């Protein structure tokens, strides 16, 4: 038996034969182009063909992995246009072939991302650039035996396999028959890669940075995605142990399913609402399947981030109305536009500053560009007529901000009245994400219908530690006494003013703190849909 360790991209346990993904690598040599105009035309045709392929992959990803998977390919489609200037300039100024120009452009673009050593997420985008360049080159070489997809679309495996490769591109991952994949194992890649994101979306165990020799192909393997370990050619004792673990996990899932329809209440009678965090209406089926009490956080900014332009009032109205109708009376809390910091809209002009996390973000953006904010509020109020909607305002630190928001809401409602458009009065909540908001919690509670604590930003601002900077990750301690004290102060202030308080950040699913939060008096926890039933089980077993 051989044992290899790697980084966990997606947790879980899997057993299967190891299959090595082999690719036909194409060597791109620098060759002189006799007709640069013809090479440019070849490039544009290949790019159009690649766009068509990516559109098909986006559709397939939407069907199999939901909105988050489809968004990856939407980003790839937008990224294709970034090649144009570089490729065509190389062809025209250096008289090189389209293949060489695409290869060089891809290498230079990837190098920019690789150099971002303080941002692992952006570093991981280098592999996406390489995937795009390879796709365009394959389209240029269509008909050449050296090209072709690494894995045919819809490939079927006769048994569950552990797919091993140096790295996997998102396009390869989404094309594979998911029923035939037990796990993914890559020698390169990162937990921030889009392939890792897809693996988590598909709930397939995955490891990266695993030094697995290619000679392991054909041998039986066990992936322990809870410990980051791969066993190759396991002994009988290890095999039996992991088979029993997998059977236990299946029984656990069956037992969790029995909790649907039951209350989330401790043995002493303390009730807690468990709601779902979603990024769009495509995530609602998962929320309903998980028996969520409602939507605790609808991240509306994804309606903006997935488009080149701001979504219209009608586009937003349709999305919010659909969410309200699908939840059939269960409340949908929609956070108003929260861009800036790590979520910036491509092609939008405003300078978010040298440190966007401290700049024009969230409500600061909305109160700076009120026309954009009004459009969203009109859509939200109009959608409220079709279900139970609440509005959540992010990044509030002062009472004057709340007063201005309410003033704008009043003006929007007056406009709707004048136009004869129906709406309902909605609850309006405030996100508590900064020490300022915590210290002002009593005053802010007088102006709000509820609080929602965003623990990710609250930790970042309380500890003055950038949550995206891996170099200081050991200083980003969301269990820090100061963070827990801030949460407790917020809960106490909310309850003094008789309003409920929820947690919608990552700490909502941190089981090490669940009992602490329940004892504090947290009224609601909002989390990914897949975490709801396990959390219900945990809370029901508390005293």
The neighbour count for residue 444, using CB atoms within 10 Å, is 26
CA distance 424 to 379: 12
Q: What is the pLDDT of residues 156-170, one digit of tens each?
A: 455 788 989 888 877
pLDDT level of residue 511 (50, 70, 90 thresholds): very high
Task: Decide yes or no: CATH 3.40.50.1980 for domain 36-140.
Answer: no
Tell me the mean pLDDT in the region 86-101.
89
Q: Is 119 exposed, middle or buried (0-12, 13-18, 19+ CB in 10 A)?
A: middle
Residues 6+ apart with CB under 8 A from 470: 118, 120
What is the per-residue DSSP string for 122-168?
HHTHHHHHHHHHHHHHHHHTTT-TT-S-SS-TT---SS-EEEEES--
Helix 98-114 vs helix 125-140: crossing angle, to nearest 10: 180
Q: Which residues pair with 224 in a beta bridge?
A: 13, 229
Domain boundaries, the chain: 2-22+152-255, 36-140, 269-540
Is pLDDT at 89 greater than 50 in this prediction?
yes
Tell me which of 327 and 158 has the higher pLDDT: 327
CA distance 345 to 353: 14
Task: Fold for 269-540, please state it.
Answer: TIM Barrel (3.20.20)
Is pLDDT at 378 greater than 90 in this prediction?
yes
Is pLDDT at 388 greater than 80 in this prediction?
yes
How far, CA to CA in Å, does 384 sit from each of 109, 282, 392? 45, 19, 14
Q: What is the pLDDT of residues 190-206, one digit of tens each?
A: 776 767 777 776 778 99
Q: 504 an active-site residue? A: yes
How high is the pLDDT of residue 57?
83
How high is the pLDDT of residue 498?
97
Tell me which of 66 and 446 has the higher pLDDT: 446
pLDDT level of residue 147 (50, 70, 90 thresholds): very low
Is pLDDT at 94 greater than 70 in this prediction?
yes
Of these residues, 10, 76, 194, 208, which one is catalytic?
Answer: 194
How high is the pLDDT of residue 191?
75
- CA dihedral sign, ordered 233, 200, 454, 363: positive
Task: Fold for 2-22+152-255, please state it.
Answer: Glucose Oxidase; domain 1 (3.50.30)
Which of 333-342, 382-391, 503-512 has the highest mean predicted lDDT (pLDDT)? Answer: 382-391
CA distance 341 to 343: 6
Q: What is the pLDDT of residues 32-54, one digit of tens each?
A: 778 889 989 999 999 999 899 88
Tell me which of 190 and 448 has the higher pLDDT: 448
Is pLDDT at 505 greater than 60 in this prediction?
yes
Tokens for 227?
Answer: 């410990």
How high is the pLDDT of residue 113?
77
Q: 194 an active-site residue? A: yes
If you average pLDDT over every residue of the chain, what do you get? 86
């Amino acid at each position: 038996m051989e044992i290899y360790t790697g980084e966990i991209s997606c947790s879980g346990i899997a057993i299967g034969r190891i299959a090595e993904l082999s690719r036909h690598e194409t060597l791109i040599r620098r060759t002189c182009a006799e007709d640069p105009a013809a090479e440019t035309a070849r490039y544009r045709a290949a790019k159009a063909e690649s766009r068509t392929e990516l559109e098909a992959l986006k559709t397939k990803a939407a069907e199999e992995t939901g909105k988050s998977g489809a968004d990856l390919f939407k980003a790839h489609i937008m990224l294709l246009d970034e090649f144009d200037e570089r490729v065509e300039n190389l062809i025209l100024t250096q008289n090189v072939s389209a293949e060489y120009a695409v290869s060089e452009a891809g290498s230079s673009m990837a190098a920019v991302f690789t150099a971002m050593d303080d941002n692992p997420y952006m570093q991981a985008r280098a592999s996406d650039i390489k995937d795009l360049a390879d796709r365009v080159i394959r389209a240029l070489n269509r008909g050449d035996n050296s090209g072709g997809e690494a894995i045919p679309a819809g490939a079927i495996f006769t048994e569950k396999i552990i797919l091993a490769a140096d790295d996997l591109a998102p396009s390869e991952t989404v094309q594979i028959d998911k029923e035939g994949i037990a796990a993914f194992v890559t020698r390169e890649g990162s937990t921030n890669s889009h392939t890792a994101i897809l693996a988590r979306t598909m709930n397939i165990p995955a490891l990266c940075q695993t030094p697995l020799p290619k000679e392991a192909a054909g041998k039986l393997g066990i992936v322990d995605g809870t410990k980051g370990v791969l066993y190759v050619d396991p002994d009988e004792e290890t095999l039996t142990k992991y088979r029993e673990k997998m059977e236990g996990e299946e029984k656990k899932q069956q037992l969790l399913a029995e909790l649907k329809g039951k209350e989330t209440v401790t043995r002493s009678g303390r009730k807690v609402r468990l709601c779902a965090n979603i990024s769009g209406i495509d995530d609602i089926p998962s929320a309903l399947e998980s028996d969520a009490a409602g939507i605790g956080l609808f991240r509306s900014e994804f309606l903006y981030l997935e488009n080149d332009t701001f979504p219209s009032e009608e586009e937003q109205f349709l999305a919010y109305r659909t969410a309200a109708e699908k939840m059939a009376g269960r409340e949908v809390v929609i956070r108003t536009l929260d861009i800036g910091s790590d979520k910036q809209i491509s092609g939008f002009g405003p300078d978010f500053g040298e440190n966007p996390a401290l700049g024009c973000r969230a409500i600061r953006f909305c109160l700076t560009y009120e026309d954009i904010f009004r459009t969203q509020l009109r859509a939200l109020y109009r959608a409220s007529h079709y279900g139970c909607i609440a509005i959540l305002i992010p990044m509030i630190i002062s009472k004057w901000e709340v007063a201005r928001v309410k003033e704008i809401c009043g003006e929007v409602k007056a406009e709707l009245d004048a136009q004869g458009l129906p709406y309902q009065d909605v609850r309006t909540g405030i996100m508590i994400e900064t020490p300022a908001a915590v210290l002002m919690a009593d005053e802010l509670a007088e102006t709000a219908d509820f609080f929602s604590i965003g623990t990710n930003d609250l930790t970042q601002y309380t500890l003055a530690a950038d949550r995206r900077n891996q170099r200081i990750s050991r200083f980003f301690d969301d269990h820090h006494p100061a963070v827990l004290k801030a949460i407790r102060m917020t809960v106490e202030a909310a309850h003094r003013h008789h309003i409920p308080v929820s947690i919608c950040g990552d700490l909502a699913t941190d089981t090490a703190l669940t009992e602490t939060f329940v004892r504090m008096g947290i009224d609601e926890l909002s989390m990914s849909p897949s975490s709801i039933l396990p959390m219900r089980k945990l809370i029901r077993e508390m005293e």
